[in-house]
Amino acid sequence: MNRATALAVIVLASSLAAGCSGVLGKPAPDASRYFMLSSTQTTSGEQPAAVHPEIHLGIGPVKLPGYLDTQGVVRTGAGGSVEYITNAFWAEPVNDAFARALLFRTGARVGTPNIVGYPWYSTTRVEWKVPVDVLRFEATPDNHAVLVARWSIERLADNRVVGGAQSVFDEAAGTDPALIVDALSRCIDRLADAIAAGVIAAASAPPHDAPQSPAPR
């Protein structure tokens, strides 16, 4: 009787397991979405008004705050809270993606192929350096995207800071993660616009004359 009972229990358990696997065991589809920041500009793609191949430019270091050092796409909330948008992830470290996107978009706006990202070799010709300290780069509760960054222009010939600003950019984003990432990309476009304008002004100024720092944007 004991063996018969044990066998019946095993058969019953197997039947239940088979039934559950057919109903409950099917894995739910993965809803995760992965995004990247394109290295190319997201605006109309117009060529710069002037080409400046004589400008040898270095972008960086580019620093992002620690709360952005995550694979999740960030949205800030009330009271300084931080949340991560459901099922929305960066396809690569956002610090690397941001730095690369800013590098290529700024180079396109300056009109120079002579642009490198930090760190560069000591033998690389760099005459102007633009370090960037990102303070915010995220979605906001009112369905916008915001980028706040402090940047400066350093002339390496005499190690002087000749320009820079704290720039604030805000773009309508919506709620869909794809729209948020697109709005964040437009913010990088606008930062590249500001840096390019500052670099061109500094490079065009008379030697050893520091242009006025641009007003915060």
What pLDDT is stored for residue 40 in this prediction?
A: 76
Which tops the pLDDT comparison, 17 or 162? 162
Q: For residue 101, which amino acid is it?
A: A
Which tops the pLDDT comparison, 33 or 4? 33
The CA-atom distances, in angstroms, between 19 and each of 4, 5, 12, 26 are 23, 21, 11, 11
Q: Which helix (H) or strand (E) holds 58?
A: strand 57-63
Give per-residue pLDDT as tens, 8-43: 444 444 544 444 444 456 777 888 999 999 887 655
β 82-90/115-117 pair status: unpaired
CATH of 33-204, one of 3.40.50.460, 1.10.10.60, 3.40.50.10610, 2.60.40.10: 3.40.50.10610
Domain residue spans of the chain: 33-204
Nearest to 101 by CA among 178, 186, 21, 25: 186
Q: How far apart are CA 214 and CA 160, in angstroms?
A: 16
Helix, strand, or coil here: 34? Answer: strand
Question: What value, to the nearest 5°, has the Cα angle with vertex 38 and ends 33 and 39?
Answer: 155
Does the pLDDT of residue 141 top 60, yes or no?
yes
Q: How far apart are CA 17 and CA 108, in angstroms?
A: 61
